[in-house]
Structure 1
Amino acid sequence: MKGKDPVDVIRKALAKTLVFYYPFAGRLREGPGRKLMVDCNDEGVLFIEADADVRLEEFGDALQPPFPSLNELLFDVPGTSEVLNTPLLIIQVTRLKCGGFIFAIRLNHTMSDTLGLTQLMSAIGEISCGMKEPSIAPVWHRELLNARNPPRVTCTHREYEQIADTKGTIIPLDDMIHRSFFFGPTEVASIRALLPPHQQKHSNFEIITACLWRCRTIALQPNTDEEVRIIVIVNVRGKFNPPLPNGYYGNAFAFSAAVASVGKLIQNPLGYALELIKKAKDDVTREYMHSVADLMVIKNRPNFTVVRSFLVADVTRAAFRDVDFGWGKAVYGGPAKGGVSVIPGVASFYIPFKKANGEEGLIIPVCLSNQVMERFVKELDNVLRNNINQPTMVGQKSCFIMSSV
């Protein structure tokens, strides 16, 4: 690719890719009952060309969220932040002084999940490399997840309970800091050491999530009688029979919630949170997804609960780093920051990461206020050093000492 301009190559490939992914060139409209639909009017997407007078190494030794200079690497074009009637994609390609480049993309999440976004990006990459069409043909077929007629809610959906934020638990943006935490084999082993033998079979995702939920709750210091939620993103592509077709690039996941009182979550061993998370994942079935679709119709598309909630999403299988526009795999590929703009501080992503010494694991961005972050770091450090004080059973009662608060 020597002598070729990444801006020119990717812009032309994007135009050709949109022939196959033409809904992305349209605009979202809202119909009766807040039903969303795509107006395929061919208005197009936004593409930004930029140059930066910096080299890649100036961004730091370890590229990880929160990514520095994000506002300059993906310009927030005025008037494009709304869900309706605005471009569904914004892409910026920034040339660097060293000869590399940064590809940044903002997606209207209504259109695709992370797997669908990777599929789109891979298609752009394939056409950048000379292919005439994507190797995986895009499949729309959103009717596969339509609500039933008549709609009927058959499952419990605590992720959509509407709760007033009477105590100001949602962290304001101006008081929030971002930090990323590495979880490799050593860190996972430290957490597993706190679990009894019969819980060792649980996945790393479940074990890390239980640890983060518990540490975060302790750091926030809510009242012990309040309820807190962990919301896990569950991929449902394989839960249908037959599975959703190969090439389906729509949203195919559930927000599944586990709920516990603060007292029970912090007074019980880590395995208590672990079992709640495992059950929340197992509850997601084909019937569960039909029930979600029906709930959307009956309740006019509610948002999921954000009050006293913590959402985690595993993007390790999205393989963003493997997308190749002709210059090879990316040095870093994944979310640029933790949290989501409309729900600051609520979401964390599990991103594949390799340290400079070659150790592989996950990097997980966390957003919290300054004081809460200090307590969270201490609590997590206690867990990873195996200094946490587990509940001690005395007769029929349990006694818990919080070691870092």
Structure 2
Amino acid sequence: MKVNMESSILLKPSYEGEPPSTAGSIPLSVFDKVTYDTHIAIIWAFKPPTPPNTNMQKGLQKVLAIYREWAGRLRMDENDRPSILLNDEGMRFVEASADWTLDHTMLLKPSKTLLNFHPTVKGVHELLQVQITRFTCGSVVVGFTFHHLVADGQSTINFLIAWARACRGLHKNPLPLHDRTIFTPRNPPRVEFEHQRIEFVNKKVIKEHPYPYPNSDDSSNRLIMHKVHFTREFLTKLKAKASAGRNRPHSTLECLVAHLWRAITQARGLNESEMTHVRISVDGRARLNPPVPNEYFGNLVLWAFPRAKVKDLLQEPLHFAAKLIHDAVSNVNDDYFNSFIDFASKEEEVKDLVPTAADKLVLCSNVDVDSWLKFPIYDLDFGGGTPYIFMPSYIPVNGLFYLLPSIVEDRSIDVFISLFEENLVQTKRTILLKPSYEGKPPSITDSIPLSVFDKFTYDIHIPVVWAFKPPTPPNTTIQKGLQKALAFYREWAGRLGIDNKGRPAILLNDKGVRFVEASADCAVDQAMPLKPSVALLNFHPSVKGVEELLQVQITRFTCGSMVVGFTSHHIVADGHSTKNFLIAWTRACRGLDLNSLPLHDRTIFTPRDPPQVKFEHKTIEFKNKKVEHPWLNYTSDGLVIHMVHFTLEFLTKLKAKASAGRNRPYSTLECLVAHLWRAITQARGLNEFETTHVRISVDGRARLNPPVPNEYFGNLVLWAFPRAKVKELLQEPVQYAAEIIHDAISNVNDDYFRSFIDFANKEEEVKDLVPTADADKAVLCPHLEVDSWLRFPIYDLDFGGGRPYFFMPSYIPVDGMLGLLPSINGDGSIDVFISLFEENLATFNKICYSLSP
């Protein structure tokens, strides 16, 4: 499909009476000089009836007589000042046609297709350009480009309204104010703020280009402009949440920008110690004292730069970001504008500086907001009615987003966001799924009291992610299979609460699990990282502050691949139980029955009479509420999750070395953990007299006597804590560490489990204790924790289109946390996901494959 250019001419102003001199000029103000030196391109679409091109052309010429700057040129005046020469050379007016209907052409989101509907903005001398494109259906698209050095958004909207009124035979009232010399510095000047690093930057800095990504063709090819629609209902809830505790709510702009800033930062997967800011335009007309009339024509904008550490922005509630934005915008006041005028008017100060409003393809880790929310863009009537589409053209700048009132005119908002493909995941639907029963549903007033193993495990959701290549089953198949499985595993559809006897319990109220359907406008290989990063958080529902005990997100990609994100609350079930549920779910999706039914009775762990507490549980599984821990002084800034692949050949050699002199070799888990414990301890550079331990989960099903069936659903895990002095751990050979680990795991036996049951049931003993299974620790140093999935058939989970081609835990940055998974190769090799500080990673990488003693 091609757009045909019918004519392209220069339009000059049409004056009533004698034309003015074409030798005049208007010097640029300090606000003009510091803004973007570029054309801004926007597009409207109108349904028939539409006025003829001649009407629009004549109206444009009439209004150019009032706004002469647009028909001029940017040059130096006779005093060698950057100026707009009022030479009436004219603006570009293009007439075009398309041999198809508008609906077949216009996309509802910016794309390169839109570049066909306005004149090019590259290398043009004209300061304003208009293109009228007519379609066979009678619709019209108006493409409009204007040079930002001439006018800001407020001035441009005044001009557009004047043009629309002129097309309808109406006069422009009131007239524009053209005097750009009104911004004079004070005498003496009072520069009270740091403008050199805010509005200006040294020319040398720009040349060195320290941005995280280059402005390359490769960068622009990976960029996508994405449209998101926010309903009025959503915005109302968002505003209430972001303004919690305030007498006067934050503005809609502040609340929505806060929400988007956090969402984009999370989607980008930034390092949590990195700084990020938002660039927000602030109109000075009402902020200067005395105010400048709205009719002022030119630029009168500075910028607010709310900034935060990624960690704080994402961990603090929404109102934290909203307040940062509100305060930053409020601080760009009369004092700030006058300070800027004083600074920018000092020629010696600014001669080696350039504006920070420079051309960049990539703003990461920052974002830039262009808001049109207060502009009556849908009241631009050229004589045939208001437009039904308005949007920016294709401007691929990573981190730039536009806010526009929605075309439905119900106070909803459309946001056009430019991001890299891998950052874009769009939620299409989110619902609560309830169990699907065969026959009469059970009572929803029942409950299951938590066992002692449930009460003292991690109070947190565990998120994991699988990826499947096509063909994949439809979402309805996955949804129905999930509902069938929930009928047998009702706990997941319930809620944590207190039963009628005052006990912590799972309420079997069938309130449902969270089920999210999402899509990404790219192939899975472009979006899914091969190691845990913040980007993975896009592929499963948030685990913060949710009451659902299980959540599923299905994300579809343009290549046909599918990612399943799954989060489960650990208090409901351990890894073994969750694995049984997942197998049941996938079998249900394939139309198969469950192999065996789950055992739901959590009251089987009764204490002995009399109790026999033989071990020191008070400092192992429990700790005193009042105990202060040194790790609380640590920060998680600088944590990296690193993936290491251990081949079967390496593991065989390691196992032989660690088991030297034994008739029965240690397990692969024991040998690999021993190796990693030593390598990480060495990489951390710990004091040799320090004690370090590893926390290793031990499943009690086979260790209790009599054994508990594998079908038991709930938690039945305690932990082994092999420990050693750093000096001995590093000086002794690897079999020393392997033996410590083996013995510690072996000691978590029937006697130990029974002793724990007896102790944990003593209410007086445990009332002032809390679990050592603390989900809030970001730093385990000098210790480690191991989460092993080695025995779980995670790659046999087939929803109906074949097994997954990879599986990984989500992004959980806890220093010293290890996740062990069977490799996707299926050849007996192992992938380990290790969370370490960046300063320790280089040393670890040097030694992690070394088999030296």
Given the two structures, how large is their TM-score scaled by the length of structure 1? 0.83
Change (3 A) 1:229 1:181: same
Q: Which residue matches 2:375?
A: 318
> Tell me, what secondary structure is at the counterpart of 1:292?
helix
The correspondence of residues 49-64 of structure 1 with structure 2, limited to 5 A, is 49-59=95-105, 64=108
State how far apart, in whole Å, the 2-side matches of 1:345 and 1:147 are.
Answer: 36
Q: In 2, are the aligned partners of 1:338 and 1:348 still within 8 Å (CA)?
A: no
State how far apart, in whole Å, the 1-side matches of 2:383 and 2:293 are.
Answer: 28
Q: Which residue matches 1:181?
A: 228
TM superposition shift of 1:49: 0.7
Matched, 1:106 2:153: no
Deviations 1:239-287 (A, max 9, x none): 1233212421222222110121222222322222111101111001122
Q: Which residue matches 2:341?
A: 293
Q: In 1, are the aligned partners of 2:92 and 2:128 still within 8 Å (CA)?
A: yes
State how far apart, in whole Å, the 1-side matches of 2:63 and 2:423 are.
Answer: 45
Change (3 A) 1:282 1:219: same
TM superposition shift of 1:185: 2.4
Deviations 1:284-305 (A, max 9, x none): 1122112223443433463226
Unpaired runs of at least 5, structure 2: 1-47, 358-362, 428-517, 520-533, 547-625, 636-775, 779-808, 813-853
Letter in 2 for 1:135: N
Q: In 1, are the aligned partners of 2:243 and 2:249 still within 8 Å (CA)?
A: no
Letter in 1 for 2:172: P
TM superposition shift of 1:201: 1.3
> Tell me, what secondary structure is at the counterpart of 2:234?
helix
The correspondence of residues 281-360 of structure 1 with structure 2, limited to 5 A, is 281-297=329-345, 298-300=349-351, 302-304=354-356, 306=363, 308-337=365-394, 344-355=397-408, 359-360=410-411
Deviations 1:88-137 (A, max 9, x none): 10111111212221111101011111221111111111111123x42221
Q: Which residue matches 2:154?
A: 115
TM superposition shift of 1:218: 1.6
State how far apart, in whole Å, the 1-side matches of 2:77 and 2:373 are.
Answer: 35
TM superposition shift of 1:142: 1.3
> Tell me, what secondary structure is at the counterpart of 2:238?
helix
Larger RCO (CA under 8 A, 6+ residues apart) = 1
**Identity in percent:** 25
Q: Which residue matches 2:424?
A: 373
The correspondence of residues 239-250 of structure 1 with structure 2, limited to 5 A, is 239-250=287-298
Q: Which residue matches 2:412?
A: 361
TM superposition shift of 1:4: 8.0
Q: Which residue matches 2:257?
A: 209
Change (3 A) 1:278 1:31: farther
Structure 1 range deviating more: 148-157 or 239-248: 148-157
Highest Rg: 1 or 2? Answer: 2
Structure 1 range deviating more: 158-167 or 99-108: 158-167
TM superposition shift of 1:202: 1.3
> Tell me, what secondary structure is at the counterpart of 1:94?
strand
Deviations 1:366-387 (A, max 9, x none): 111111223998999x99x994
Letter in 2 for 1:389: K
Unpaired runs of at least 5, structure 1: 81-85
Letter in 2 for 1:143: T
Matched, 1:79 2:123: yes
State how far apart, in whole Å, the 2-side matches of 1:236 and 1:265 are.
Answer: 28
The aligned length equals 388
Q: Which residue matches 2:210?
A: 165
State how far apart, in whole Å, the 1-side matches of 2:375 and 2:315 are.
Answer: 36
Letter in 1 for 2:210: D
Matched, 1:261 2:313: no
Q: Which residue matches 2:69?
A: 23
Change (3 A) 1:64 1:375: closer
Deviations 1:197-247 (A, max 9, x none): 314711221111111111111222222222111111122211123321242
> Tell me, what secondary structure is at the counterpart of 1:238?
coil
Of 177, 194, 207, the residue aligned with 1:139 is: 177
Q: In 2, are the aligned partners of 1:159 and 1:256 still within 8 Å (CA)?
A: no
State how far apart, in whole Å, the 2-side matches of 1:388 and 1:285 are.
Answer: 40
State how far apart, in whole Å, the 2-side matches of 1:45 and 1:113 are.
Answer: 18
Please tell me the root mean square deviation across aligned C-alpha atoms, in Å: 3.7
State how far apart, in whole Å, the 2-side matches of 1:400 and 1:159 are.
Answer: 37
> Tell me, what secondary structure is at the counterpart of 2:354?
coil
Structure 1 range deviating more: 368-377 or 306-315: 368-377
State how far apart, in whole Å, the 2-side matches of 1:296 and 1:34 are.
Answer: 17
State how far apart, in whole Å, the 2-side matches of 1:87 and 1:144 are.
Answer: 26
Given the two structures, how large is their TM-score scaled by the length of structure 2? 0.41
State how far apart, in whole Å, the 1-side matches of 2:310 and 2:76 are.
Answer: 39
> Tell me, what secondary structure is at the counterpart of 2:62?
helix
Change (3 A) 1:69 1:136: farther
Change (3 A) 1:206 1:33: farther
> Tell me, what secondary structure is at the counterpart of 2:305?
strand
State how far apart, in whole Å, the 2-side matches of 1:189 and 1:403 are.
Answer: 31
Structure 1 range deviating more: 162-171 or 258-267: 162-171
State how far apart, in whole Å, the 1-side matches of 2:330 and 2:63 are.
Answer: 37
State how far apart, in whole Å, the 2-side matches of 1:338 and 1:52 are.
Answer: 23
